Amino acid sequence: MSKNSLQNNLWNHRKDYSVDEIDFEHIPQNPYELFDIWYKKAEEQMKGSSETNAMSVSTADKDGNVSSRIVLLKEYSNEGFVFFTNYLSRKAKNISHNNKVALLFFWEIMQQQIRIEGVIEKISIEKSKEYFDSRPAESRASALASPQSEVIQSVKKLKEDRDKILKSNRLDYPDFWGGYIVKPTAIEFWQGRPSRLHNRLKYVKDNGEWRVEILAP
C-alpha cells in the first residue's frame, strides 16, 4: 500500500440497540399517525439538542445520477411532507426531470429511522409566499442573494450582495423560491434492536389504500 493512501478500518465500530421496539400487535393503519407518534417522541427526547425535522432528500437527474442533501421538514399532514428551497437549485432541476424522490429521517437517540419514497410537486404560490414572509429578514435576504448551487465569485461577494438587499429592505417573495410536497407511495419505520435483529415496518400505498408489511432486517 502506498504511503499516501488512506484507509480506516471501521469493522469493530458496533453499537447494540435496545431503546425501544415496535409493537406489531398495535399499529395504526395510517402511517402518518405512526410518523406523528415517533416524531413527537423524538422531539421530546432530543429537547432541542438537535433538529428533529432534519431529513435527507434524495433526487435523481435525467441520467439517473442520484444526489442527497439535508433539508428541514416544515410541515407534515395526511397529504405529505413539505420543505422549501430555491426552484433553480440542483435538487429542483432534478425534480423537473424526475418527480420520484426519497426522504430519510434518522434519530440516533431513539435508534430509529424513517424512509419515505414518493412523488413530489410544488405547493401553491400563496403558501410559499406565506412561509417566505414569515422568515427572519436576514434569511429572506440570503435567499434573494444566493444563486443556489451555482459557482460564485467568493463568499465575501455573496455576503456583500446579501447585505445590500437587507439594507434596501427589498425583501419581496421571489418567484424562484418556494415549497414542495412529497406525497408518499411507501413509508418504512425502522427500530434498532439487539444483535441486529431490527424491527422493520413498511406501509405501501396500493390503489389508494395503505398495505402494511413486516420486513426482515
Q: What is the pLDDT of residues 158-211, one digit of tens each?
A: 999 999 999 998 999 999 999 999 999 999 999 999 999 999 999 999 999 999
Q: Is the dihedral of CA 25, 29, 31, 32 positive or negative?
A: negative
Residue 144, domain member (yes or no): no
Overall pTM > 0.85 = yes
Residue 94, domain member (yes or no): yes
Q: Which cell goes with 152?
A: 460564485
Residue 47, domain member (yes or no): yes
Q: How many structural domains are present in the chain?
A: 1
Residue 63, domain member (yes or no): yes
CATH number of the domain encompassing residue 36: 2.30.110.10
Question: What residues are paired with 199 via a beta bridge?
Answer: 191
Residue 61, domain member (yes or no): yes
The DSSP bridge pattern shows strands 100-107 and 199-206 to be: unpaired
Long-range contacts of 201-206 (CB under 8 A, 24+ apart): 201/22, 201/24, 201/27, 201/34, 203/31
Residue 65, domain member (yes or no): yes
Q: Are 104 and 61 in contact (CB under 8 A)?
A: no
Residue 23, domain member (yes or no): no
Tell me the catalytic residues.
196
Mean pLDDT by 10 residues, the chain (217 residues): 80 87 95 98 87 98 97 98 98 97 97 99 98 96 93 94 93 97 99 96 97 97
Return the closest-CA partner of residue 31 out of 111, 100, 99, 116. Answer: 116
Q: Computed over its alpha carbons, how large is the radius of gyration of the chain? A: 20
Q: Give the integer Cα–Cα distance in Å for 103 and 181.
A: 11
Residue 97, domain member (yes or no): yes
Q: Which cell goes with 127?
A: 403558501
Which structural domain range is residue 104 located in?
Answer: 31-134+176-214
